[in-house]
Amino acid sequence: MDQRVAFRFPTDIEADCRSCTRAWSSRIVNVSTTGCMIACPPDSLPAGALLRLRVRGLTAIDGEIVWQHRDHAGIRFKVPLHAALIEHLAWTGAEEAPIKLAATG
């Protein structure tokens, strides 16, 4: 049975991805504090390869590819993301709204 470290939220967020050998536009399919699943090119992305995700309005997120199956890959973040950011991504991902991190008021 698959045991997860953190709860995953379904989402649909545009992301630019870059590894050492290539760059592509992608979508984040689900996200947790410790990682995410992305859509990816169907050809092989090696497990253990480093990856940088860029989501509009956020600083770059560095991670490691831990698995790939067909056109999806699992990414483990190098530094866990704050739970409030994950909740924000889960809510805004469905709308593809601009992500604002500055406090209002």
Q: Is residue 77 in some structural domain?
A: yes
Q: Is residue 34 in some structural domain?
A: yes
d(CA 8, CA 5): 9
pLDDT per residue rounded down to tens, the chain (105 residues): 455 577 888 999 999 999 888 899 999 999 999 999 999 887 778 889 999 999 998 899 999 999 999 899 999 999 999 988 888 887 766 555 444 443 333
> What CATH number does the domain containing 71 carry?
2.40.10.220
d(CA 1, CA 95): 33
As for how many domains the chain has, the answer is: 1
pLDDT score recorded for residue 30: 94
d(CA 88, CA 35): 15
Instruction: Domain of residue 57: give its range.
Output: 9-93
Q: Is residue 26 in some structural domain?
A: yes
Give the CA angle between residues 91, 36, 19 to the nearest 5°: 125
Q: Is residue 67 in some structural domain?
A: yes
d(CA 53, CA 77): 10
pLDDT score recorded for residue 76: 96
